[in-house]
Chains A and B, each alone.
Chain A
Amino acid sequence: MKIVVAFVSGLVFALGLGRSGMLLPGKVLGFLDVAGRWDPALLFVMGPAAGLTMAAWLWRKGRPTPWGGEIPRRSLHALDARLFLGAGLFGIGWGLTGVCPGPAVSNLAAPSAFTLTALGAMIAGILLSLLPLFQRRGPGH
Protein backbone atom coordinates (compact mmCIF):
# COMPACT_ATOMS: atom_id res chain seq x y z
CA MET A 1 0.00 0.00 0.00
CA LYS A 2 2.92 2.30 0.73
CA ILE A 3 4.00 1.83 -2.89
CA VAL A 4 0.55 2.85 -4.14
CA VAL A 5 0.49 5.95 -1.90
CA ALA A 6 3.97 6.94 -3.13
CA PHE A 7 2.98 6.50 -6.79
CA VAL A 8 -0.19 8.57 -6.41
CA SER A 9 1.71 11.20 -4.42
CA GLY A 10 4.32 11.48 -7.20
CA LEU A 11 1.58 11.72 -9.82
CA VAL A 12 -0.35 14.46 -8.00
CA PHE A 13 2.94 16.24 -7.27
CA ALA A 14 3.69 16.32 -11.01
CA LEU A 15 0.19 17.57 -11.83
CA GLY A 16 0.76 20.39 -9.34
CA LEU A 17 4.06 21.26 -10.97
CA GLY A 18 2.35 21.32 -14.36
CA ARG A 19 -0.67 23.32 -13.21
CA SER A 20 1.52 25.95 -11.58
CA GLY A 21 3.80 26.35 -14.61
CA MET A 22 6.83 25.18 -12.65
CA LEU A 23 7.80 22.56 -15.26
CA LEU A 24 8.72 25.47 -17.54
CA PRO A 25 12.27 26.77 -17.00
CA GLY A 26 11.13 30.19 -18.20
CA LYS A 27 8.70 30.54 -15.26
CA VAL A 28 11.36 29.51 -12.74
CA LEU A 29 13.98 31.82 -14.25
CA GLY A 30 11.36 34.59 -14.26
CA PHE A 31 11.11 34.23 -10.49
CA LEU A 32 14.91 34.35 -10.11
CA ASP A 33 15.22 37.34 -12.47
CA VAL A 34 14.81 40.17 -9.98
CA ALA A 35 16.50 42.68 -12.29
CA GLY A 36 14.08 41.96 -15.13
CA ARG A 37 10.32 41.39 -15.29
CA TRP A 38 10.12 39.56 -11.96
CA ASP A 39 7.51 36.79 -11.88
CA PRO A 40 6.44 36.06 -8.26
CA ALA A 41 4.50 32.88 -9.22
CA LEU A 42 6.91 30.56 -7.41
CA LEU A 43 5.99 32.19 -4.09
CA PHE A 44 2.31 31.51 -4.83
CA VAL A 45 3.23 27.86 -5.39
CA MET A 46 5.36 27.55 -2.26
CA GLY A 47 2.67 29.04 0.01
CA PRO A 48 -0.02 26.35 -0.24
CA ALA A 49 2.56 23.61 -0.91
CA ALA A 50 4.45 24.24 2.33
CA GLY A 51 1.23 25.23 4.13
CA LEU A 52 -0.61 21.97 3.47
CA THR A 53 2.51 19.96 4.29
CA MET A 54 2.73 21.91 7.55
CA ALA A 55 -0.92 21.18 8.33
CA ALA A 56 -0.33 17.45 7.81
CA TRP A 57 2.78 17.54 9.98
CA LEU A 58 1.27 19.56 12.84
CA TRP A 59 -1.77 17.26 12.82
CA ARG A 60 0.05 13.93 12.74
CA LYS A 61 3.55 14.47 14.15
CA GLY A 62 4.73 11.91 16.65
CA ARG A 63 1.92 9.57 15.67
CA PRO A 64 2.00 6.27 13.82
CA THR A 65 1.04 6.14 10.14
CA PRO A 66 -1.15 3.47 8.50
CA TRP A 67 1.50 2.32 5.98
CA GLY A 68 4.83 3.40 7.40
CA GLY A 69 6.66 4.35 10.56
CA GLU A 70 5.93 7.09 13.04
CA ILE A 71 6.03 10.67 11.80
CA PRO A 72 9.08 12.35 13.33
CA ARG A 73 8.14 14.80 16.08
CA ARG A 74 11.28 16.87 15.77
CA SER A 75 12.52 18.74 12.71
CA LEU A 76 16.11 19.18 11.59
CA HIS A 77 17.60 22.41 12.84
CA ALA A 78 21.36 21.77 12.64
CA LEU A 79 23.08 24.25 10.33
CA ASP A 80 26.47 23.29 8.92
CA ALA A 81 28.86 24.12 6.11
CA ARG A 82 27.56 21.28 3.92
CA LEU A 83 24.06 22.76 4.00
CA PHE A 84 25.21 26.22 2.93
CA LEU A 85 27.69 24.99 0.33
CA GLY A 86 25.25 22.44 -1.11
CA ALA A 87 22.29 24.82 -1.22
CA GLY A 88 24.54 27.51 -2.73
CA LEU A 89 25.70 25.22 -5.56
CA PHE A 90 22.16 23.94 -6.07
CA GLY A 91 20.94 27.51 -6.52
CA ILE A 92 23.63 28.24 -9.14
CA GLY A 93 22.57 25.15 -11.09
CA TRP A 94 18.90 26.09 -10.68
CA GLY A 95 19.64 29.57 -12.03
CA LEU A 96 21.48 28.09 -15.03
CA THR A 97 18.89 25.45 -15.96
CA GLY A 98 15.57 26.66 -14.53
CA VAL A 99 15.04 23.05 -13.52
CA CYS A 100 15.07 21.35 -10.13
CA PRO A 101 14.84 17.58 -9.50
CA GLY A 102 11.03 17.13 -9.64
CA PRO A 103 10.57 18.91 -12.97
CA ALA A 104 13.71 17.19 -14.35
CA VAL A 105 11.91 13.85 -13.92
CA SER A 106 8.41 14.90 -15.02
CA ASN A 107 9.70 16.71 -18.12
CA LEU A 108 11.11 13.40 -19.34
CA ALA A 109 7.55 12.68 -20.54
CA ALA A 110 8.44 14.95 -23.48
CA PRO A 111 12.03 13.94 -24.23
CA SER A 112 14.22 16.54 -25.92
CA ALA A 113 17.91 17.35 -25.97
CA PHE A 114 17.20 19.82 -23.17
CA THR A 115 15.19 17.53 -20.86
CA LEU A 116 17.56 14.58 -21.41
CA THR A 117 20.64 16.74 -20.76
CA ALA A 118 19.15 18.29 -17.62
CA LEU A 119 18.07 14.94 -16.13
CA GLY A 120 21.25 13.09 -17.15
CA ALA A 121 23.49 15.81 -15.69
CA MET A 122 21.42 15.93 -12.49
CA ILE A 123 21.80 12.18 -12.00
CA ALA A 124 25.53 12.51 -12.70
CA GLY A 125 25.69 15.17 -9.98
CA ILE A 126 23.84 12.91 -7.54
CA LEU A 127 26.25 10.04 -8.32
CA LEU A 128 29.19 12.43 -7.83
CA SER A 129 27.88 13.33 -4.37
CA LEU A 130 27.92 9.62 -3.48
CA LEU A 131 31.72 9.39 -3.88
CA PRO A 132 33.38 8.66 -0.53
CA LEU A 133 35.16 12.03 -0.77
CA PHE A 134 31.85 13.87 -0.40
CA GLN A 135 30.15 11.54 2.06
CA ARG A 136 29.59 12.44 5.65
CA ARG A 137 26.82 11.25 7.81
CA GLY A 138 24.57 14.07 8.89
CA PRO A 139 21.05 15.37 8.90
CA GLY A 140 19.20 15.70 5.63
CA HIS A 141 15.73 15.82 4.22
Chain B
Amino acid sequence: MMASMDGDAALRALEGGALIGLAAGALLALTGKTAGVSGIVEGVVRGERGEWGWKAAFVLGLLAGGFVLRVAVPGALATSAPRALPLIAVGGVLVGFGARLGGGCTSGHGVCGIGRLSLRGVAGTLVFIATGMATVYLARRLG
Protein backbone atom coordinates (compact mmCIF):
# COMPACT_ATOMS: atom_id res chain seq x y z
CA MET B 1 0.00 0.00 0.00
CA MET B 2 1.23 3.43 -0.94
CA ALA B 3 -0.41 6.56 0.38
CA SER B 4 -0.99 9.47 -1.90
CA MET B 5 -2.12 12.89 -0.67
CA ASP B 6 -0.35 16.25 -0.64
CA GLY B 7 -0.49 18.81 2.17
CA ASP B 8 -3.01 21.04 0.37
CA ALA B 9 -5.40 18.14 -0.11
CA ALA B 10 -5.05 17.20 3.57
CA LEU B 11 -5.87 20.76 4.63
CA ARG B 12 -8.89 20.92 2.30
CA ALA B 13 -10.09 17.59 3.70
CA LEU B 14 -9.77 18.90 7.28
CA GLU B 15 -11.55 22.17 6.39
CA GLY B 16 -14.34 20.34 4.57
CA GLY B 17 -14.70 17.93 7.48
CA ALA B 18 -14.94 20.87 9.89
CA LEU B 19 -17.78 22.38 7.82
CA ILE B 20 -19.59 19.03 7.84
CA GLY B 21 -19.10 18.72 11.61
CA LEU B 22 -20.31 22.29 12.11
CA ALA B 23 -23.44 21.54 10.06
CA ALA B 24 -24.20 18.26 11.85
CA GLY B 25 -23.30 19.62 15.31
CA ALA B 26 -25.45 22.74 14.89
CA LEU B 27 -28.41 20.72 13.64
CA LEU B 28 -28.09 18.45 16.69
CA ALA B 29 -27.59 21.26 19.22
CA LEU B 30 -30.36 23.51 17.84
CA THR B 31 -33.03 21.00 16.84
CA GLY B 32 -32.03 17.65 18.39
CA LYS B 33 -32.02 16.09 14.91
CA THR B 34 -29.41 13.82 13.31
CA ALA B 35 -27.84 14.79 9.99
CA GLY B 36 -28.04 11.28 8.55
CA VAL B 37 -28.65 11.89 4.88
CA SER B 38 -30.11 8.48 3.92
CA GLY B 39 -32.72 8.73 6.68
CA ILE B 40 -33.48 12.31 5.70
CA VAL B 41 -33.97 11.40 2.03
CA GLU B 42 -36.14 8.45 3.09
CA GLY B 43 -38.33 10.77 5.14
CA VAL B 44 -38.71 13.11 2.16
CA VAL B 45 -39.59 10.42 -0.39
CA ARG B 46 -42.15 8.73 1.85
CA GLY B 47 -43.67 11.97 3.15
CA GLU B 48 -42.87 11.21 6.80
CA ARG B 49 -45.46 12.91 8.99
CA GLY B 50 -44.12 15.51 11.40
CA GLU B 51 -40.56 15.29 10.03
CA TRP B 52 -41.09 16.11 6.37
CA GLY B 53 -40.58 19.87 6.65
CA TRP B 54 -37.11 19.96 8.17
CA LYS B 55 -35.96 16.96 6.14
CA ALA B 56 -37.07 18.56 2.87
CA ALA B 57 -35.34 21.80 3.94
CA PHE B 58 -32.09 19.90 4.61
CA VAL B 59 -32.23 18.22 1.19
CA LEU B 60 -32.88 21.61 -0.46
CA GLY B 61 -29.89 22.95 1.47
CA LEU B 62 -27.69 20.11 0.14
CA LEU B 63 -28.85 20.96 -3.37
CA ALA B 64 -28.39 24.72 -2.85
CA GLY B 65 -24.86 24.04 -1.61
CA GLY B 66 -24.26 22.06 -4.78
CA PHE B 67 -25.32 25.06 -6.87
CA VAL B 68 -23.07 27.39 -4.85
CA LEU B 69 -20.15 25.03 -5.51
CA ARG B 70 -21.03 24.78 -9.19
CA VAL B 71 -20.72 28.56 -9.51
CA ALA B 72 -17.91 29.26 -7.04
CA VAL B 73 -15.65 26.19 -7.02
CA PRO B 74 -14.88 24.72 -10.44
CA GLY B 75 -14.12 21.02 -10.24
CA ALA B 76 -15.91 20.41 -6.94
CA LEU B 77 -18.81 18.52 -8.51
CA ALA B 78 -18.70 15.11 -10.16
CA THR B 79 -18.52 15.18 -13.92
CA SER B 80 -17.79 11.69 -15.19
CA ALA B 81 -18.89 8.24 -14.07
CA PRO B 82 -16.16 6.09 -12.48
CA ARG B 83 -17.70 2.93 -13.97
CA ALA B 84 -20.20 1.90 -16.67
CA LEU B 85 -23.71 3.22 -16.00
CA PRO B 86 -25.33 -0.21 -15.42
CA LEU B 87 -22.83 -0.77 -12.58
CA ILE B 88 -23.63 2.70 -11.23
CA ALA B 89 -27.33 1.81 -11.28
CA VAL B 90 -26.75 -1.46 -9.39
CA GLY B 91 -24.43 0.29 -6.95
CA GLY B 92 -26.89 3.13 -6.40
CA VAL B 93 -29.67 0.71 -5.49
CA LEU B 94 -27.33 -1.04 -3.02
CA VAL B 95 -26.37 2.33 -1.50
CA GLY B 96 -30.00 3.32 -0.90
CA PHE B 97 -31.25 -0.10 0.16
CA GLY B 98 -28.24 -0.96 2.32
CA ALA B 99 -28.24 2.39 4.10
CA ARG B 100 -31.88 2.04 5.09
CA LEU B 101 -31.60 -1.65 6.04
CA GLY B 102 -28.58 -0.88 8.20
CA GLY B 103 -30.11 2.33 9.55
CA GLY B 104 -27.40 4.72 8.35
CA CYS B 105 -24.90 5.80 5.73
CA THR B 106 -21.59 7.63 5.78
CA SER B 107 -23.16 10.60 7.55
CA GLY B 108 -25.58 8.74 9.85
CA HIS B 109 -23.22 5.98 11.02
CA GLY B 110 -19.90 7.61 10.18
CA VAL B 111 -20.24 11.25 11.24
CA CYS B 112 -23.23 11.31 13.61
CA GLY B 113 -23.06 7.75 14.97
CA ILE B 114 -19.37 7.92 15.80
CA GLY B 115 -19.93 11.50 17.00
CA ARG B 116 -22.42 10.16 19.53
CA LEU B 117 -20.10 7.34 20.55
CA SER B 118 -22.66 4.86 19.29
CA LEU B 119 -21.53 1.24 18.98
CA ARG B 120 -23.90 0.87 16.00
CA GLY B 121 -22.28 3.82 14.28
CA VAL B 122 -18.76 2.48 14.80
CA ALA B 123 -19.69 -1.06 13.72
CA GLY B 124 -21.64 0.13 10.67
CA THR B 125 -18.78 2.38 9.57
CA LEU B 126 -16.17 -0.38 9.92
CA VAL B 127 -18.37 -2.81 7.95
CA PHE B 128 -19.09 -0.50 5.02
CA ILE B 129 -15.50 0.63 4.74
CA ALA B 130 -14.44 -3.04 4.70
CA THR B 131 -16.94 -4.11 2.02
CA GLY B 132 -16.24 -0.92 0.05
CA MET B 133 -12.52 -1.69 0.02
CA ALA B 134 -13.21 -5.33 -0.91
CA THR B 135 -15.44 -4.19 -3.79
CA VAL B 136 -12.83 -1.81 -5.20
CA TYR B 137 -10.16 -4.50 -4.84
CA LEU B 138 -12.29 -7.09 -6.68
CA ALA B 139 -13.25 -4.60 -9.38
CA ARG B 140 -9.55 -3.90 -9.89
CA ARG B 141 -8.73 -7.62 -10.13
CA LEU B 142 -11.65 -8.45 -12.42
CA GLY B 143 -11.54 -5.25 -14.48
Min CB distance B106 to A, Å, is 4
A141–B92 CB distance below 8 A: no
Q: Across the interface, do B127 and A84 meet the contact criterion of CB distance under 8 Å?
A: yes
- Neighbour of A99 across the interface among B95, B107, B118, B124, CB < 8 A: B95
Per-residue CB contact flags for chain A residues 49-77 toward chain B (1 = under 8 Å, else 0) read 11111111101100001111111100111
In the complex, are the beta carbons of A110 and B5 less than 8 A apart? no
Q: Is the CB of A50 within 8 A of B98?
A: no
Contact check, B98 vs A88: say whether CB atoms are below 8 A apart. yes
Q: Is the CB of A65 within 8 A of B30?
A: yes
In angstroms, Cα B106 to Cα A38, docked, is 19
* Given contacts A9-B27, A109-B63, A141-B112, A126 and B78 within 8 Å (CB-CB): no
| Most B Cβ at <10 Å: residue of A12, A44, A84, A106 | A106
Q: How far is the CA of A9 from the CA of B54 in the complex (A)?
A: 10
Chain B: interface residue total (CB-CB under 8 A): 117
- By size class, the interface of chain A is 35 or more
Q: Beyond A56-B25, A75-B116, is A48–B81 a contact (Cβ under 8 Å)? A: no
- B46 neighbours in A (Cβ, 8 Å): 130
Residue of A nearest to B117 (CB): A75
User: Which residue of B26, B68, B139 is within 8 Å of A96 (Cβ)?
Assistant: B139
Complex contacts, A13 vs chain B, CB 8 Å: 19-20, 23-24, 35, 58, 61-62, 65, 107
- Chain B positions 38 through 77: 1 when the CB is less than 8 Å from some CB of chain A, otherwise 0: 1101100110000001110111111111111110010011
Closest to B93 in A: A125
Name A14-35 residues within 8 Å CB distance of B. Answer: 14-26, 29-30, 32-35
Give the Cβ gap from B121 to chain A, nearest Cβ, in Å: 7
CB-CB nearest in chain A for B24: A53
B65, A117: Cβ atoms under 8 Å? no
A117 and B102 within 8 A (CB)? no
- A50 pairs with B136, CB closer than 8 A: no
Chain B: residues with CB nearer than 8 A to chain A?
1-5, 9-10, 12-39, 41-42, 45-46, 53-55, 57-70, 73, 76-83, 85, 87-121, 123-125, 127-137, 139-140
